[in-house]
Amino acid sequence: MNELDSEVMAGILERRGFSEVTSEEEADILIFNTCSVRDLAERKVLGKIGRLGKLEKRPLIGIAGCMASSKKEALFQKVPYLDFVVGTNNIHELDAILDEALQKRPVTRVSPQFTEELDYKRAKRKDSIKASVSIIRGCNKFCTYCVVPYTRGREVSRLPESIVDECKTLADRGYKEVMLLGQNVNSYGKDRPEWGCSFAALLGRLNDISGLERIRFMTSHPVDISDELMVAIGALRHVAEYVHFPLQAGSNRILRKMNRGYTVEEYLQKVQKLRALVPDVALGTDIIVGFPGETEDEFRQTYDMVEQIGYSNSYLFAYSPRKGTPSTRWADDVPKEAKEERLQKLIDLQNRITTSHLESLIGKEVEVLAEEESGKDATCLKGRTRTWYNVVFPGSSDQLGTLQRVVVQKVINQTLFGTIIT
């Protein structure tokens, strides 16, 4: 979502007459589009801006993103060189903010709720084959460790006609894949029942767009995945069989404490149903280890769930308390060493599982979208399978943006290598 917001902001800057430069020293304006999910990301940004403020020719410096939304004016105390702060829900005001910041700094614009439809069609896209498309912003779930509901506000679905229109325009421009984005795509349309368009129905409409080869989506909250959606994933030709399905923890006590809204048993039932309706589906997940009070036994339950489900990939994190979230009322009592040890155990397990999934594909045919050139002399192409695995194969630039049938020959560093079947 942040990358898409950056593309929208770059589009606004370009229309204002700015162009991209390759180094920070050359820039007249620097905007840091920040993430607040982890403490480390925040500290890195502050350190970086601190250093840049000492440049001889000082650019106009702004902070956007979740850190802007959560810290607001307080950022000016932390970073004296800062000129403006743009919340995640205020990107559409960037032009006016710049006007104001050029006159008199500092400027802060942070709204608690997303309301304005952004000018996505004029975003400055980085890629010419794949594009991110926002379909719902904000989150109503309030997991106790998460800042998103406080920084991005409540769920706001985007009008289906606007999404279809943008995807048609992207397809007309030659894009082959869209990634539909939302903190919880599965609850798309629930805030606007009068539209009569569920997420599954939206996928059906996008599946009919001529030229669009692949439709992906992220993230799917386990509570909101419906039978209708599972059926749609299995039935719609262009919807890729990959579901990012965050588990977060494998213990019911910790899930309750996280306010995730499901039990381990309910989660497993959904996985079983999904696998029955979409036999080739690959599952990804997010896990937090070392949540306040997590015992060794509760971590073991998480470990066992990961092993039992056999995710194709996972994003694994050690818990860090985020200011303003309910989980800060509990002591961050799992020692750092224990968190690191648990994290490493899960990383090792996931590596073994992913490698075994990949090795099972040796000798088999997979469909790959050729997305970029690869290798020093660009004699190879790189792309992904429908199930999100990376594949490298010999090919030339005129094949970029095409779907290829590739037979897998080997696996190196969690990447598949193969050759095109002619």
Binding site for ligand SF4 (CB under 6 A): 139, 141-143, 146, 148-149, 183-184, 221
Instruction: Say what the alpha-carbon torsion angle 155, 160, 162, 166 is, to the nearest 10 degrees.
Output: 100
Buried b (16+ CB within 10 A) or exposed e, 183-211: bbbbbbbeebeeeebbbbbbbbebeebee
Closest separation in Å from C-beta 35 to ligand SF4 = 12
Cβ proximity to ligand SF4, 133 vs 146, nearer residue? 146
Closest separation in Å from C-beta 258 to ligand SF4 = 8
Closest separation in Å from C-beta 299 to ligand SF4 = 19
Closest separation in Å from C-beta 93 to ligand SF4 = 24
Closest separation in Å from C-beta 277 to ligand SF4 = 23
Q: How many CB atoms lie within 10 A of CB 156?
A: 18
Cβ proximity to ligand SF4, 132 vs 354, nearer residue? 132
Cβ proximity to ligand SF4, 223 vs 407, nearer residue? 223
Cβ proximity to ligand SF4, 148 vs 249, nearer residue? 148
Cβ proximity to ligand SF4, 41 vs 55, nearer residue? 41
Closest separation in Å from C-beta 183 to ligand SF4 = 4
- Distance, CA of 81 to CA of 63 (rounded, Å): 11
- Distance, CA of 266 to CA of 250 (rounded, Å): 12
Question: Over the Cα atoms of the chain, what is R_g?
Answer: 22
Closest separation in Å from C-beta 372 to ligand SF4 = 29
Q: At what angle do helices 296-309 and 264-277 cross, to 10 degrees?
A: 10
Cβ proximity to ligand SF4, 169 vs 226, nearer residue? 226
Q: Select from 143, 139, 135 the least CA-distant residue to 198.
A: 135
Q: Select from 329, 311, 313 the least CA-distant residue to 321.
A: 329
Helix (H, G, I), strand (E, B) or coil at 232: helix
Q: Is 387 exposed, middle or buried (0-12, 13-18, 19+ CB in 10 A)?
A: buried
- Distance, CA of 260 to CA of 56 (rounded, Å): 49
Cβ proximity to ligand SF4, 147 vs 309, nearer residue? 147
Cβ proximity to ligand SF4, 139 vs 289, nearer residue? 139
Q: Which two tokens stand for residue 239?
A: 């919807």
Closest separation in Å from C-beta 350 to ligand SF4 = 19
Strand pairing category for 415-420 and 403-412? antiparallel
Cβ proximity to ligand SF4, 141 vs 256, nearer residue? 141
Question: H helices within 189-263, ranges in order?
Answer: 199-207, 227-235, 252-258
Helix (H, G, I), strand (E, B) or coil at 362: coil
Closest separation in Å from C-beta 147 to ligand SF4 = 8
Chain-centre distance for alpha carbon 114: 18
